């Protein structure tokens, strides 16, 4: 039996139309931010980002000093970018914050914004009446997990023996959240985080390389967190509809009324990043204090007037 804590707002019937799909896919969905330096996060392990030759078309976010981990094993989070862009630095403040808490975060693409950015050329617009193809694929999330698991057992790897294979998350923003749903059946995954996203519901399957069928959430087999931007978020109706339809695994949806852009560009990823950290710490490391952000009538999000939380957890 699942216990539901009712949310304080009712999900609207706002499903993603062709226009909003274009917004989520368009290059303008996440503006490039080249002038701000990278941050190191607020966790115990100051973080960095880098590209490595053994994992092309991905960017790694990790603690700068792996030796400082001590007995702490790295969790892994594969990340799908907003707009399915190939700019793996587009959510860098958010991802650096996650990494600073002892996670190996792997984003699809390359560095096309901020420090270390490669020259970038906007792709040509699609023909009239067609949608732009995603620049990254769901398969890159699986490639990230495969690489991390291989590095954990490869002698000579900087990650040899440092990764916990039972701490694997897959997360994504907007179009990247749809990529998460596309790989949700992978048995190695321990939790999902879907931000400002949800299946297209009654819209046609128009994104090449992705399945957006109505029953795609049936493949979810692990606790799942949705983070949405309130009723002005173009993905609000879709994410809330997913939450309503998921009844076979523990699921939560947390809304902060900031719209579709979220808090990714706020210092250290803003308030949403802290909620995601707590979810990962609870689900992957069984941290009782972190669980207090979500559990019980007096949970931290329940007491914060800016957040709206709804959950379906087993009693």
Write the pLDDT tens digit of every residue in 69-112. Answer: 999 999 999 999 999 999 999 999 999 999 999 999 999 999 99
Of the candidates 254, 247, 175, 201, the residue with the CA atom closest to the CA atom of residue 9: 254
Predicted pLDDT at 31: 53
Predicted pLDDT at 27: 39
CATH 3.30.420.40 holds for 2-120+127-314: no
Predicted pLDDT at 110: 97
In this prediction, residues 111-127 reach a mean pLDDT of 88
In this prediction, residues 284-298 reach a mean pLDDT of 97
Q: Per the structure block, which two tokens stand in for 254?
A: 């947390």
Give the model's confidence band at 159: pLDDT under 50 very low, under 70 low, under 90 confident, else very high: very high
Q: Which of 4-13, 15-24, 273-282 tops mean pLDDT?
A: 273-282
Give the model's confidence band at 26: pLDDT under 50 very low, under 70 low, under 90 confident, else very high: very low
Give the model's confidence band at 131: pLDDT under 50 very low, under 70 low, under 90 confident, else very high: confident
In angstroms, the CA 113 to CA 105 distance is: 17
pTM assigned to the model: 0.91
Give the model's confidence band at 298: pLDDT under 50 very low, under 70 low, under 90 confident, else very high: very high
Give the model's confidence band at 202: pLDDT under 50 very low, under 70 low, under 90 confident, else very high: low
Lowest mean pLDDT: which of 24-28, 166-170, 182-186, 190-194?
24-28
């Amino acid at each position: 039996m699942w216990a539901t804590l009712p949310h304080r707002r009712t999900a609207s019937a706002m499903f993603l139309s062709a226009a909003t799909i274009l917004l989520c896919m368009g290059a303008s969905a996440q503006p490039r931010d080249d002038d701000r330096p990278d941050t190191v996060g607020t966790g115990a392990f100051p973080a960095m980002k880098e590209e490595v030759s053994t994992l092309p078309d991905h960017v790694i976010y990790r603690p700068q000093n792996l030796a400082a981990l001590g007995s702490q094993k790295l969790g892994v989070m594969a990340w799908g970018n907003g707009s399915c862009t190939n700019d793996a630095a587009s959510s860098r403040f958010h991802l650096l914050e996650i990494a600073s808490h002892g996670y190996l975060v792997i984003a699809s693409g390359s560095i096309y914004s901020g420090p270390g950015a490669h020259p970038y050329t906007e792709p040509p617009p699609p023909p009239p009446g067609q949608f732009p193809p995603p620049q990254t694929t769901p398969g890159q999330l699986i490639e990230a997990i495969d690489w991390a698991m291989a590095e954990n057992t490869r002698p000579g790897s900087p990650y040899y023996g440092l990764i916990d294979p039972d701490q694997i998350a897959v997360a994504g923003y907007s179009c990247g959240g749809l990529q998460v749903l596309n790989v949700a059946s992978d048995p190695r995954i321990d939790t999902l985080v879907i931000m400002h996203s949800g299946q297209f519901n009654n819209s046609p399957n128009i994104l090449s390389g992705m399945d957006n069928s109505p029953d795609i959430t049936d493949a979810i087999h692990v606790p799942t967190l949705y983070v949405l931007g309130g009723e002005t978020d173009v993905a609000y109706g879709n994410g809330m509809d997913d939450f309503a339809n998921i009844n076979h695994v523990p699921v939560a949806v947390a809304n902060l009324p900031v719209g579709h852009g979220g808090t990714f560009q706020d210092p250290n990823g803003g308030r949403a990043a802290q909620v995601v950290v707590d979810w990962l710490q609870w689900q992957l490391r069984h941290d009782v204090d972190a669980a207090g952000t979500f559990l019980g009538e007096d949970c931290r999000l329940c007491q914060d007037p800016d957040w709206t939380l709804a959950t379906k957890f087993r009693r």
